[in-house]
Amino acid sequence: MVKKKTPPEQAGAKPYRVFVSHATADKWIAKTLCEKIEGVGATTFRDDRDINGGDDERL
């Protein structure tokens, strides 16, 4: 039997934040990876989803 892990925020720890860097050709694997990471309670950041064209990179 596989024991499901408790998300960090439920365990009292700070939640993980994960930056996923990828080439355009690998967008499909980055999306899949983000879905899996988010499934265990972490937050992900992906440029094609979380940055709008013309955004200031320092924000």
Domain-by-domain residue ranges, the chain? Answer: 17-49
What is the reported pTM?
Answer: 0.64
> Got the DSSP string for 10-55?
TTTSPPPEEE----GGGHHHHHHHHHHHHHTT-EEE-HHHH--TT-
pLDDT 10s digits, 10-58:
666 668 899 998 999 999 999 999 999 999 999 999 988 888 877 776 6
